[in-house]
Chains A and B, each alone.
Chain A
């Protein structure tokens, strides 16, 4: 999990592995064992190699020990979900923004949009805390989600597909500023129609990320067409006055799709190459896993 930097719905409040990793031991490509960080949460001594190794896909070294910050288990949890019809996409977008920006401190703000533009959308919000506190917050959150037209329900168990991505061969992650969620959903719909695929879209939309999973039967050509079309559309919306505001990353795909969609525009790619050359000059650690498929 650390090497891939994977995070589920709770990333909205608690972050990804890089945010909770406080110490790390690694074995370098030349066999040297090195430590960084420590066992205390607050620590700025030396470079934070944990950040570098989290999400490095095993290309910098082998992680042999990791220390994490833990959070207390909540006494009570509640899921507030709001369903929006296919024509109410804008309502779902507004609900995500309202939940993510509310002072009710949600632990997760998820969007689930399975199988193409003609299907309903579901916004799911997880609340954690004390019993009475969660009940009161769930009520307030229900009002927030109902305002843009959602059909709201509150439950103590997770809704279907919560934190689970559909099985697929090609999975694409779109990252964005939440204010661009509407255009991003439009882009996914249009790119899907262009390529003749129906991606299942879900993920921590409140934290600015969504995963688009293509059906396992999708041909490589269609997958490439989808990624290319999506990237073109998102790229337009993803560069604001202040700098980059998102991007499209192919997380898993058949090798030919990975090669055809290799992205040379990742910010800081030249520095990433330099870091890799320092840690593993012969590129023996997991060839092919480096950003851009090198």
Chain B
């Protein structure tokens, strides 16, 4: 355990109580991953605070010691959003599980973040109310985690996501202060920070209390199970239902492979031999639902349904839902390993994208099972592979990436409800431009300028907060002077040009492997401005072998560049040096962050592999071709005062 963390332990014990601070390496391993087990990282320390005040004290302590921290609810996330930091504190919220208050007249409940999703509905049931967001993991997932991920669920088609059902949040800011966002009513005064916070994947602070809306339990609920020969026919029915002006509570679809898995796991008795089943649930006032039911039945039949089963009593409905809700786990029975994707497409493109997925699957020889929220176009392709067969994992990964590309080509999104986390941060540049990501990170900088709160998530390249605040004034002087070029993993994009869409597709597998070796933390993509050796500047700045340069050499480099340069520190990431500021010349506003371990702090300028001192023995400079040329050069920040 690092000395910094070691020093925190007694103080953490004072705050949370000795029994709620975990330091034993075996116990720590319990927390090495969330629901996405392919990313693992043992945290340096785990604390389980019991109150908002304790969370605030823990966070304040971390902020003071510049130690990264990650909040964790029930650990059911599917994107590695709660993946711990190897040299950080994991703050587990599971002891804070009280339903503080229910006001049935106002239809509001106040709950603590560790309360499970279903527990809120159970507590509200005596009043004829329920909590609408219902992710499949609702028996165990926490409301705090739902807020972080803006969770949906099968019924969000009609009822909306977590963000539509949260009206107030008590949070601990990344500097350790307790504050409220939203006034608890759902009416916004000033900026809608409540809305911006919800779905920020734990990167803007830690939730300690949540005010949620409750909804009246619907008068009647009808579930239709409709069998089709193919997903294309089912997809047509979905479009027709919505086009008819009917908004069902949920429309779910499963393809033949997913049905096979579910049948094997829970014997849900779906129609035998169906190429696809559609689950359509209608709820609301009895007078409306009867009419909608007739419309939907007619549409389903017209679209070529081979069989329709209807269920209106809770037990029957639960039986049918069991097949759908168990599908992810059930797939484990027909495949030793699988990747869950979460891409979204406009509903009208469902057929085209499903056909593309089938094509990709056939080409690669990788089976793909489809279980998805058809009503809102949220696909969950389960890419099946055998990790014991060499090359299959890579092939599956490739198919999985190509599926996301197909979603984006049709104007969709890389994630509908699972979040970006560490898993999909590398895909973010496929969906958003550099300016878009930069703008999002302005919010991050406002909440968490030090970059300590759940670092390495969502963004492939963390922003340097506290540089020239929020603004890129001009191209880097070195670029203007023709002394430098912008490189994106070795891809030259020209002077001042931004990352071309899709450039990161060329991300070497080796780099991802490296990230995994390092413990899975950290976004795999680092955009850098590399100073290349045109007039000997690059070699000088980087010392040729990635070694740190002495003060005199550094000053010489700066004089040549006429701008701030970044030099390598022995055994760590690069540090920033301001113009004329010598070794202590940090930029105004960087608040001393430049000296901290950049990787630990989740800052923007870093190397794709550990610098010299941290390099693994025996790996040296071997085997690095042109692609890694930039490693010998120094990285300098992209934002720079003119």
Chain A residues within CB distance 8 Å of chain B = 5, 15-16, 18-19, 26, 28, 30, 32-36, 38-49, 51-52, 54-56, 60, 71-75, 97, 100-105, 129-130, 132-133, 135-137, 140, 173, 175-180, 207-209, 238, 240-247, 249, 266-272, 274-279, 281, 290-292
> With A19-B160, A34-B436, A73-B245 as given contacts, are A43 and B184 in contact (CB-CB < 8 Å)?
no
Q: Among the listed A40, A49, A177, A243, which residue makes an inter-chain contact with B209, where contact means beta carbons less than 8 Å apart?
A: A243
A32 and B180: CB pair below 8 A?
Answer: no
A45 and B105: CB pair below 8 A?
Answer: no
8 Å CB interface, B494-532 against A: none
A177 and B106: CB pair below 8 A?
Answer: yes
> With A103-B216, A103-B218 as given contacts, are A43 and B413 in contact (CB-CB < 8 Å)?
yes
B192 and A52: CB pair below 8 A?
Answer: yes
Per the bound structure, the CA–CA distance linking A275 and B192 in Å amounts to: 11
A279 and B442: CB pair below 8 A?
Answer: yes
Interface membership of B32, Cβ < 8 A: no
In order of increasing CB-CB distance, the 4 nearest A-B pairs are: A51-B195, A291-B190, A242-B110, A72-B245
B156 and A271: CB pair below 8 A?
Answer: no
Residues of A close to B411: CB separation below 8 A: 38-40
Interface centre among A41, A60, A180, A274 (most CB of B within 10 A): A41
Stretch from B17-25, B306-314, B466-474, B630-638 at the A interface: B466-474
B137 CB, min distance to chain A CBs, angstroms = 15
B105 and A101: CB pair below 8 A?
Answer: yes
Work out how many contacts link A and B, with CB atoms closer than 8 A.
296
B16 CB, min distance to chain A CBs, angstroms = 23
Residues of B close to A71: CB separation below 8 A: 247
Per the bound structure, the CA–CA distance linking A56 and B192 in Å amounts to: 8
A130 and B291: CB pair below 8 A?
Answer: yes
Interface centre among B344, B378, B472 (most CB of A within 10 A): B344
Q: Among the listed B108, B173, B376, B432, which residue makes an inter-chain contact with A271, where contact means beta carbons less than 8 Å apart?
A: B173
Residues of B close to A74: CB separation below 8 A: 245
- Encoded as 1 (CB less than 8 Å from any A CB) or 0, chain B from 151 to 184 comes to 0100010001101100010100100000111111
B378 CB, min distance to chain A CBs, angstroms = 5
B200 CB, min distance to chain A CBs, angstroms = 6
Q: Which residue of B lies closest to A273 (CB)?
A: B446
B436 and A35: CB pair below 8 A?
Answer: yes
> With A54-B192, A55-B191 as given contacts, are A45 and B431 in contact (CB-CB < 8 Å)?
yes
B446 and A277: CB pair below 8 A?
Answer: yes
21 examples of A-B residue contacts, CB within 8 angstroms:
A26-B439, A34-B433, A38-B431, A42-B373, A43-B415, A45-B420, A46-B432, A47-B199, A47-B458, A48-B150, A52-B191, A55-B188, A55-B192, A103-B285, A133-B288, A242-B100, A242-B110, A245-B184, A276-B191, A281-B469, A290-B190
A133 CB, min distance to chain B CBs, angstroms = 4
B190 and A272: CB pair below 8 A?
Answer: yes
Interface centre among B192, B211, B412 (most CB of A within 10 A): B192
Interface membership of B419, Cβ < 8 A: yes
Residues of A close to B287: CB separation below 8 A: 129, 132-133, 135-137
B291 and A133: CB pair below 8 A?
Answer: yes
Interface centre among B185, B191, B377 (most CB of A within 10 A): B191
A42 and B469: CB pair below 8 A?
Answer: no
Residues of A close to B245: CB separation below 8 A: 72-75
Interface membership of B229, Cβ < 8 A: no
Per the bound structure, the CA–CA distance linking A105 and B106 in Å amounts to: 15
A45 and B284: CB pair below 8 A?
Answer: no
Residues of B close to A290: CB separation below 8 A: 190
Per the bound structure, the CA–CA distance linking A208 and B469 in Å amounts to: 38
Residues of A close to B163: CB separation below 8 A: 48, 51
Q: Which residue of A lies closest to B160 (CB)?
A: A19
B412 and A40: CB pair below 8 A?
Answer: yes
B106 and A208: CB pair below 8 A?
Answer: yes
Per the bound structure, the CA–CA distance linking A44 and B161 in Å amounts to: 10
Per the bound structure, the CA–CA distance linking A47 and B189 in Å amounts to: 20
Residues of B close to A275: CB separation below 8 A: 191, 193, 442-443, 446
B589 CB, min distance to chain A CBs, angstroms = 11
15 A-B pairs besides A49-B443, A101-B107, A278-B470 with CB distance below 8 A are: A15-B164, A40-B412, A44-B199, A45-B420, A47-B444, A48-B198, A72-B246, A103-B219, A103-B284, A103-B285, A105-B284, A177-B108, A242-B184, A272-B191, A278-B442
Residues of A close to B161: CB separation below 8 A: 42, 44
Interface centre among B107, B292, B377 (most CB of A within 10 A): B107
Q: Among the listed B152, B170, B182, B211, which residue makes an inter-chain contact with A42, where contact means beta carbons less than 8 Å apart?
A: B152
A249 and B189: CB pair below 8 A?
Answer: yes
Interface membership of B71, Cβ < 8 A: no
Residues of B close to A209: CB separation below 8 A: 185, 187
A32 and B435: CB pair below 8 A?
Answer: yes
Residues of A close to B104: CB separation below 8 A: 101
Residues of B close to A249: CB separation below 8 A: 189
Per the bound structure, the CA–CA distance linking A47 and B200 in Å amounts to: 6
A179 and B105: CB pair below 8 A?
Answer: yes
Chain B residues within CB distance 8 Å of chain A = 100-101, 103-108, 110, 128, 149-150, 152, 156, 160-161, 163-164, 168, 170, 173, 179-196, 198-200, 209, 211, 216-219, 242, 245-247, 284-285, 287-288, 290-292, 344-346, 373, 376-378, 411-420, 424, 428, 431-433, 435-440, 442-447, 458, 469-472
Per the bound structure, the CA–CA distance linking A265 and B247 in Å amounts to: 40
> With A42-B416, A103-B219, A244-B184 as given contacts, are A178 and B107 in contact (CB-CB < 8 Å)?
yes
A18 and B420: CB pair below 8 A?
Answer: no
B316 CB, min distance to chain A CBs, angstroms = 21
Q: Which residue of A lies closest to B201 (CB)?
A: A44
Interface centre among A49, A136, A177, A240 (most CB of B within 10 A): A177
Residues of B close to A238: CB separation below 8 A: 183
Interface centre among B104, B188, B419 (most CB of A within 10 A): B188
Residues of A close to B218: CB separation below 8 A: 103
Residues of A close to B242: CB separation below 8 A: 72
> With A44-B199, A133-B288 as given contacts, are A242 and B413 in contact (CB-CB < 8 Å)?
no
Residues of B close to A207: CB separation below 8 A: 186-187
> With A177-B184, A278-B443 as given contacts, are A51 and B196 in contact (CB-CB < 8 Å)?
yes
Q: Among the listed B209, B211, B435, B458, which residue makes an inter-chain contact with A34, where contact means beta carbons less than 8 Å apart?
A: B435
Per the bound structure, the CA–CA distance linking A74 and B376 in Å amounts to: 20
Per the bound structure, the CA–CA distance linking A278 and B446 in Å amounts to: 6
B443 and A5: CB pair below 8 A?
Answer: no
Per the bound structure, the CA–CA distance linking A228 and B194 in Å amounts to: 26
Residues of A close to B378: CB separation below 8 A: 42
Residues of A close to B101: CB separation below 8 A: 240-242
Q: Among the listed B106, B216, B413, B443, which residue makes an inter-chain contact with A102, where contact means beta carbons less than 8 Å apart?
A: B216
B587 CB, min distance to chain A CBs, angstroms = 15
B433 and A46: CB pair below 8 A?
Answer: no
Residues of B close to A270: CB separation below 8 A: 179
A56 and B191: CB pair below 8 A?
Answer: yes
> With A42-B378, A72-B247, A244-B180 as given contacts, are A34 and B185 in contact (CB-CB < 8 Å)?
no
> With A42-B413, A51-B163 as given contacts, are A208 and B187 in contact (CB-CB < 8 Å)?
yes
Per the bound structure, the CA–CA distance linking A238 and B219 in Å amounts to: 32
Residues of B close to A176: CB separation below 8 A: 185
Q: Among the listed A19, A135, A268, which residue makes an inter-chain contact with B193, where contact means beta carbons less than 8 Å apart?
A: A268
Per the bound structure, the CA–CA distance linking A60 and B191 in Å amounts to: 9
Residues of A close to B200: CB separation below 8 A: 47
Residues of A close to B414: CB separation below 8 A: 45
> With A129-B288, A247-B189 as given contacts, are A44 and B458 in contact (CB-CB < 8 Å)?
no
Per the bound structure, the CA–CA distance linking A73 and B247 in Å amounts to: 11
B105 and A267: CB pair below 8 A?
Answer: no
A143 CB, min distance to chain B CBs, angstroms = 14
A179 CB, min distance to chain B CBs, angstroms = 4
Per the bound structure, the CA–CA distance linking A32 and B417 in Å amounts to: 29
Q: Among the listed A46, A105, A179, which residue makes an inter-chain contact with B103, where contact means beta carbons less than 8 Å apart?
A: A179
B85 CB, min distance to chain A CBs, angstroms = 20
